[in-house]
Structure 1
């Protein structure tokens, strides 16, 4: 390709687009392509376009293949081989299923799976190219796949180091947290209630937003691990359902626990100063009580202490684990609730990582 040109979508193997110095400046990476036989076509073509599960010159069989991002992965690998300065990703949110009887050189009655219409850019789950998460289906798989490849392409900042050992007094004062590092932050304002007209008779309403998670910290000493969380406004009463849940992946193994989480705090609270540590029993959303814990919540802040031995963390040596806060999820055992109901920190299926 000549200079002063960029691409937005190409079939594999994509071209490199060069600058005036004959260096690869840009390459396109797509989730799927409205192409048949290597040329421009439409997604609902009767011969099948290059959908989400297209790779290695053919469509991967099986109903689950659409969830794996095989086409997307192949395109990213080509981009890594080209090593351009820029990658153009197609696409985030198209969601336009325009219906045509004629388009380009095609006619619906002759070329489409449906004689009464053809769909050029978006047809169904397989023959579409949106990365934005969907309800059901592949949910947010393509979102995380995109993030993974962007991190490989651009690199990442190293994780901030944790401060040294410090004993925290669970008294509701919180002054002893001031010099604890790092600070884990979450998006502010994502508990906004929704009440809006949709298409036709559909109406979108969501009033689950409650405690807006803002800032989190972790401290440790030889005996315990301490957790701190701060919300934008005053915490709601601890008697509220699904109140300020803390999920902990203590062993760093996603294959253990529920979605990798081995422990859960605040699923059952005794009163305004005593909560429960629960451990996953290895069978989905099933938790057994381990021990009562001390906590304190004042205004918009909460702190609690967990003995290290209960989490399987020895007194000697480094400490490393992942954690996640959530408030007011509506459906237990569904990881997509972290993105739909209440608030979650960090967003969706991400975790915060603590280590020293």
Structure 2
């Protein structure tokens, strides 16, 4: 805790960013062993919650990183209030065997990704569905506690140690061993997991915390130039800074593998939609001037006009490529249906699409849309995590609705 305080919290800290602190009971929250803080310069600075190991008795104010019981334990604060519960993807209630004992050596004490209702399930077919994770979420949501601690995001490090079962031919893997006996939510192409657990986590967080109401669309307006966009609402935003080149060594060391990606170029920042009686207008603003040839993967716009994931490609019924080609998903392929108009001015792009071309001329507009740039494969939605830039990121969409 002293090191954390010195590096992040005290006024002279090299990474002093108060806007990033999480406050509880009026002070920055820290999880540790509170009695170890007595006598230190940071003692009165923090609100303390006790680090809670799953195999030790429950502590007052304990915050768990995982639970080895089913259902999970609810943990209470000093006021006797139910405060927090853990949700994890999989669990190893037999730490001696570790995840490796179940993945490789037949131990049945641990609970993999497919475990639910007291059964281990079939890891080959069940792993993609997140049954264990959802069972944990379902119980946690019923407890109505103010905090849920999620385990874990990116623990893709499989530490290997000497065997603990007396067999010199065995190795010990505590937390990570196989796709089934691991607990990472971060997307991976391993075993078909893809972004399933990430999307599952997001869906459950939305159930837990709720969502903001859909913002009201501005009144009809005819967009003739970029000045017309000034007062159009809502303003959709995207994370910025995610188009920088990536260069990092991989886990494999012999031969060494270096992961590189230089596909990021146009960093989406602000997006808008407007309409009049004849047209739908789309606006995209990037951090720097828009670059790239007007090729198929340049500044693409995907539109789901019926908000039905079962129609179109991945739910998208239309897309715009090269700035001026409107395409419809027809008979399992994209077909150009009409030429449209677009304008580019520095870091701004606008597209005009006739409502008739989208089948929207006679009804309220209630659509989902997504921008992307420089995808390397147009038939793989996971590209939106990897290459170029997408707004919003991954498989998410923005919603634009004129319905009251």
Under a length normalisation based on structure 1, what TM-score does the superposition of the two structures give? 0.89
State the partner residue of 1:130: 184
User: Unaligned 5+ residue runs, structure 1?
Assistant: 270-274
Match of 2:342 in 1: 295
Gapped regions of structure 2 (runs ≥ 5): 1-57
Q: State the shift of 1:141 in Å.
A: 1.0
Equivalent in the alignment of 2:204? 149
Deviation at 1:108?
5.6
Distance (Å, rounded) in 2 between the aligned partners of 1:121 and 1:108: 19
Partner of 1:59: 120
Aligned to 1:328: 374
The SS at the match of 2:83 is strand
**Distance in 2 (alpha carbons) for counterparts of 1:328 and 1:195:** 18
Structure 1 match to 2:33: none
Deviation at 1:2, TM superposition (A): 5.1
Match of 2:219 in 1: 164
The verdict on how the C-alpha distance between 1:300 and 1:18 changes in structure 2, with shifts beyond 3 A counting, is same
**Compared with structure 1, are the counterparts of its residues 297 and 21 closer, same or farther at alpha carbon in structure 2 (3 Å cutoff)?**
same
Q: CA deviation at 1:5?
A: 2.1
2:77 to 16, 19, 42: 19
Structure 2 residue aligned with 1:257: 312
- Written as runs of structure 1 = structure 2, the 5 A alignment for 1:101-120 is 101-102=162-163, 106-107=164-165, 109=167, 115-120=169-174
Q: Measure how far apart 1:23 and its partner are.
A: 2.3
Structure 1 residues 247 and 177 mapped into 2: Cα distance closer, same or farther (>3 Å)? same
Alignment of 1:231-270 (within 5 A): 231-266=286-321, 268=322
> Which of 344, 350, 353 does residue 396 from structure 2 map onto?
350
Separation in 2, partners of 1:290, 1:75: 47
How big is the shift at 1:134? 1.2
Cα distance in 1, alignment partners of residues 364 and 296 from structure 2: 35
CA RMSD, 1 decimal: 1.7
After superposition, the C-alpha distances for 1:145-180 in whole angstroms (9 at most, x for unaligned) are 1111111111122121111111112xxx30000010
Q: CA deviation at 1:41?
A: 4.2
The alignment covers a number of residue pairs equal to 335
1:43 positional shift: 0.6
* Shift in alpha-carbon separation, 1:12–1:293, aligned structure 2, 3 A: same
**Structure 1 residue 332 displacement after superposition:** 1.8
| TM superposition score normalised by structure 2 | 0.79
Q: Cα distance, 1:47 vs. partner?
A: 2.0
Q: Which residue does the alignment assign to 1:277?
A: 326
Distance 2:370 2:156 in 1: 31
What secondary structure is seen at the aligned counterpart in 2 of 1:3? coil
Of Structure 1 and Structure 2, which has the larger fraction of its residues in helix? 2
Q: 2:239 is matched with which residue: 187, 201, 213?
A: 187
What's 2:28 paired with? none
Which residue number in structure 1 is paired with residue 16 of structure 2?
none
Residue in 2 that maps onto 1:47: 107
| Secondary structure of the corresponding residue to residue 198 of structure 1 | strand
CA distance in 2, matches of 1:345, 1:40: 45
Residues 301-333 of structure 1: per-residue CA shift (max 9 Å, x gap): 111111112212133x42110000010000120
**Distance in 2 of aligned mates of 1:291 and 1:189:** 34
Aligned counterpart, 1:229: 284
Deviation at 1:101, TM superposition (A): 2.1
Does residue 318 of structure 1 match 2:364? yes
- Distance in 1 separating the partners of 2:246 and 2:123: 37
Aligned position for 2:20: none
> 237-246 or 177-186: which moved more?
237-246
Instruction: Name whichever of 124-133 and 55-64 sits farther off.
Output: 55-64
Report if aligned partners of 1:249, 1:263 keep a CA contact under 8 Å in 2. yes
